[in-house]
Amino acid sequence: MQKRTLGKTGWKISVIGFGAIKLPRVSQRDCDVLLNRAVDLGINFIDTADCYGDSEEKIGSALSKRRREFYLSTKIDERDGPGVMKKLERSLQRLKTDWIDLVLFHDVRGSEYEKIFEKGGLEALEKARRQGKISEIGISIHHSVSMMKKAIESGVFSALMVAYSPIDEDRLTLDLIPLAQQKGVGVIAMKPLAGGKLGESRRGWNRKYFKGESPAQVSLRYILTNPHLTCAIPGMTNLNELEENLKVGEDFRHLSSEEIGVLMDWVGEVGKGFCRNCGYCLPCPEGISIPDIFRFESYHESYGMKRWAAEQYRLLPVKADACSSCGQCLERCPFGVSIPQCLQEAHRILGLS
């Protein structure tokens, strides 16, 4: 398994990590087999979050006896000091470990970035680091490039987790990801298969051209063709997915420019009408946070995080039903997303949970 260095941490991380967001769907018995097989085959980075159902408990039960064989990452969605410490202690208990290698502030958006500093969240993690409970501090941000730059330049964070896949508009490549590399901030690609969409679709796929590789494998190779990305963390639920993804890291080669072109032509077709969370639709005159709502809907439908997604939606000051169908977002969206119609559906799904 090829490894890359995670920024200033100096850690040698497997280019394919294990994204544990889907583990709540899997029985403990199957998790034991899946996670141990992943470590046996060279995966040494496992990522979860305090809000991923029983993911932390399953990892702790499966791998507590092998704790020194991999780097463990979790994410916390609190911003104030007491809240962060409460969640951290719970994560340590669930994961059955004395320390966590990387703890990230989870899904930071809007004014929450400043709250990390003002409300004591960062101070709490720095204290935990001095106590040996965690090793490094990171942050995950979904679509605000300006916030990503601010986090990189702060010098506070060792790792940045971003949504990055071939289906995403590639707004991070020219400036932001090289900046992170320059500042010693490791970049981890979450949602590398666009929430599974690129792994599930086969429509129009030229398997012969890609020498038998699947869309998921080529998508992962596309991500890792960028030398400044440390690893991709696809969510996995079975041994077939694990072994399919691992082949990319075991026999890695960069995509040629011609291959990237063919991949992007295919992505352009399967991605029509798919929200990239790019934020081009904003600002909404009604104050609707369109990308956040669609992301919560994705967590609800694709990852089974129904309670968490509904709670995050409930906390939004403006809900999707405030849409006046003015059409401004439709004019701005370059991907043909039927935003007003999709907002109605998201409100129905999230509002009833």
Mean pLDDT score, 171-197 = 89
**Model confidence over 287-299: pLDDT tens digits?**
999 999 998 998 8
CB atoms within 10 A of CB 340: 16
**Model confidence over 264-289: pLDDT tens digits?**
999 988 878 888 888 889 999 999 99
Mean pLDDT score, 106-115 = 93
Token digits for 273? 């009408």
**Model confidence over 56-102: pLDDT tens digits?**
999 999 999 999 999 999 999 999 999 999 999 999 999 999 999 99
Is the pLDDT assigned to residue 170 strictly greater than 80?
no
Please give the C-alpha separations between residue 310 and each of 84, 126, 277, 326, in angstroms, as whole numbers. 21, 31, 18, 26
pLDDT-based confidence at 353, cuts 50/70/90?
Answer: low
Token digits for 20? 């544990």
**Model confidence over 327-350: pLDDT tens digits?**
999 999 888 899 999 999 999 999
**What are the chain's domains?**
3-270 (3.20.20.100), 290-351 (no CATH)
Is the pLDDT assigned to residue 236 strictly greater than 80?
yes
CB atoms within 10 A of CB 133: 19
For 178, counting Cβ atoms within 10 Å of its Cβ (0-12 exposed, 13-18 middle, 19+ buried), the class is: middle
Question: What pLDDT does residue 173 have?
Answer: 73
The CA angle 296-143-306, to the nearest 5 degrees, is: 10
Task: Give the global pTM.
Answer: 0.90
Please count the helices (runs of H) and the strands (runs of E) in the chain. 15, 10
Say which residues have a Cβ less than 8 Å from residue 52's Cβ, sequence separation at least 6: 20, 21, 23, 24, 303, 305
